[in-house]
With several copies, the nearest count.
Chain A
Amino acid sequence: MSIFVDRETKLVVQGITGRDGSFHTRQMMEYGTQVVAGVTPGKGGRRFEDAVPIFDTVADAVAETGADTSVIYVPPAFAIGAMFEAADAGVKLIVCITEGLAVIDMTKVLPFLQERGVRLIGPNCPGIISPGQSKVGIIPGNICAPGNIGLVSRSGTLTYEVVDQLTRHGLGQSTCVGIGGDPLIGTNFIDCLEAFENDPDTTGIVMLGEIGGTDEQQAAEYVRNHLTKPVVGFIAGQTAPPGRRMGHAGAIISGSSGTAAEKMAAFEDAGIGVMKRPVEVVDLLKARM
Chain B
Amino acid sequence: MNIHEYQARELFRQAGIPVPDGEVATTPAEVEEIARRLGGGVVVKAQVHAGGRGKAGGVKLAQSPEEARAAAEQILQLTIKDLPVQKVLVAPIVDIASESYLGMIMDRESQRPVIMVSPAGGIDIEEVAATTPEKIFKLAIDPRYGLLSHQAMGLAFALYHDVKQVRAAARIMEQLYQAFVTNGASLAEINPLITTSAGEVLAIDAKMSLDDNVVDRRPDLEALRDESAEAPSEVLAREAGLTFIKLDGNVGCVVNGAGLAMATMDLVKYYGGEPANFLDIGGSSNPEKVVSALRIITMDPNIKAILFNIFGGITRTDDVANGIVAALDQFSVDVPIVIRLTGTNEDEALAILEGVGKTALKDMDEAVQQVVRVAQEAA
Contact = CB atoms under 8 A, between A and B. Distances in A.
Contacts of A247: 51, 103, 187, 189, 207, 209
B260 A249 contact: no
A81 B145 CA distance: 12
B272 to A, nearest CB: 12
Interface in B310-334: 310-315
A84 B257 contact: no
A100 interface: yes
A99 B283 contact: yes
Interface in B222-259: 245, 247, 255-259
Interface string B143-176: 1110011110110010000110011000000000
Nearest to A234: B263
A24 B314 contact: yes
Given A102-B211, A154-B259, A81 B313 contact: no
B191 interface: yes
Contacts of A140: 312-313, 343-344
Contact of B154 (A43, A59, A214): A59
B108 to A, nearest CB: 5
B257 A157 contact: yes
Interface in A55-86: 56-59, 76-77, 81-82, 84-85
A78 B190 CA distance: 27
Interface string A150-173: 000111111111001000000000
Interface in B270-301: 270, 275, 278, 282-284
Contact of B365 (A108, A252, A278): A278
Contacts of B116: 249, 252-253
Contacts of B65: none
B260 A161 contact: yes
B333 to A, nearest CB: 23
A20 B216 CA distance: 21
B111 interface: yes
Contacts of B217: 77, 102
A246 B105 contact: yes
Interface in A170-188: 181, 183-184
B126 A251 contact: yes
A41 to B, nearest CB: 6
A274 to B, nearest CB: 13
B186 A103 contact: yes
Interface in A248-289: 248-253, 276-279
Contacts of A82: 150
Contact of B313 (A101, A126, A249, A250): A126
Interface string B66-104: 000000000000000000000000000000000001011
B174 to A, nearest CB: 11
Most chain A C-beta atoms within 10 Å of own C-beta, residue among B260, B313, B364: B313
B213 A157 contact: no
B144 A237 contact: no
B266 A239 contact: yes
A236 B263 contact: yes
B260 A155 contact: yes
B154 A76 contact: no
Contacts of B184: 102-104
Interface string A209-252: 01101110010000000000000001011111100111111111
A109 B307 CA distance: 39
A277 B167 CA distance: 50
Contacts of A211: 262
A158 B269 contact: no
A103 B112 CA distance: 9
Most chain B C-beta atoms within 10 Å of own C-beta, residue among A104, A160, A279: A104
A255 to B, nearest CB: 8
A198 interface: no
B107 interface: yes
Given A100-B216, A276-B270, A81 B149 contact: yes
B314 A126 contact: yes
A53 B178 CA distance: 35
A57 B343 contact: no
B187 A84 contact: no
Contacts of B189: 247-249
Contacts of B267: 277-278
A237 B136 CA distance: 31
Nearest to A99: B283
B211 to A, nearest CB: 5
Nearest to A98: B283
A138 interface: yes
B186 A246 contact: yes
Nearest to A77: B217
B343 A143 contact: yes
11 contacts: A59-B154, A84-B145, A88-B148, A100-B213, A102-B213, A102-B217, A103-B186, A155-B258, A157-B255, A218-B109, A236-B262
Interface of A: 19-20, 24, 41-44, 56-59, 76-77, 81-82, 84-85, 88, 97, 99-104, 106-108, 110-112, 126, 138-140, 143, 153-161, 164, 181, 183-184, 208, 210-211, 213-215, 218, 234, 236-241, 244-253, 276-279
Which 6 pairs between the two chains have the least Cβ-Cβ distance?
Answer: A155-B259, A42-B163, A85-B150, A157-B257, A158-B259, A157-B260
Given A103-B184, A278-B365, 19 more contacts: A42-B162, A77-B217, A84-B148, A97-B314, A103-B106, A104-B185, A107-B143, A111-B142, A126-B314, A156-B257, A156-B259, A158-B262, A181-B259, A210-B259, A238-B266, A239-B268, A253-B105, A253-B114, A276-B270
